[in-house]
Amino acid sequence: MNIPHSPARHLARLTFLAFLLTFIASRTLVILIMTRRMPDLFLHAGGTHVHHLNYGILLLSAVAAVLLFAKLNDTQRSVCAVIYGFATALIFDEFGMWLHLGGSYWQRASFDAVTVVLGVFGLLAFMPRWQRLRAHHFITAGLLIVAVASFYLLLFKSLKHANDKLIPRLIDIEQRGPQ
């Protein structure tokens, strides 16, 4: 069955990919900077460290303004989708810090928020269209939900154990790293 190209699905996939790659790059760069394996790229304004969620907020505001006020072609909308994914990853990477108004970069809330947002973007990007859903899709989705829930319970227990071991080391690296 030949189904016409979906511009929204294409944009969702670009957003998903930009979000995923930005989150991975962001965490990698922070670890490299904190362990002094690369130069301090952090922006400091008047002695204040400007966190990357601020860049994300500025970019997200700019993308919203462009989408509201400009007439765009498909290529320009694709660029906006990539910037949107990039900006959203920068913001949600530091979700725990803005949720709790401070604290360590390594808060579990940030990782959980990124996982949820990535899951939503993944559904929007790769879920079958509503018109094409059949009974076997619902059965598969139900089994997948049970499998993911079981995996999450096991993962939660192992992450709690990992948090007890890993988070103190990451916080120590953060405290000894560039401020």
Q: Using the Cα atoms of residue 71, residue 77, residue 83 and residue 84 in order, give the sign of their dihedral.
A: positive
pLDDT of residue 9: 86
Q: Is residue 142 part of a domain?
A: yes
Q: Tell me if 1 is assigned to some domain.
A: no
Cα(11)–Cα(32) distance, rounded to whole angstroms? 31
Q: Is residue 75 part of a domain?
A: yes
- What is the pLDDT averaged over residues 4-26? 88
In a domain, 47, yes or no: yes
Residue 142 half-sphere exposure toward CB, CA atoms < 13 A: 6
Question: Domains in the chain: how many in total?
Answer: 1
pLDDT at position 125: 80
pTM over the 0.95 mark: no
Asked whether residue 101 is domain-assigned, the answer is yes
pLDDT per residue over 28-65, tens digit each?
Answer: 998 888 888 888 888 778 888 788 888 999 999 999 99
Containing domain of residue 142, as a range?
7-176
Query: How confident is the model at residue 130, as a pLDDT?
Result: 63
Residue 2 domain flag: no
Residue 117 lies in a domain: yes
Mean pLDDT of the chain: 82
CB contact at 8 A, 86 and 52: no
pLDDT digits (tens, 9 = 90+) for 131-153: 666 677 678 777 877 877 777 77
Domain assignment present for 166: yes
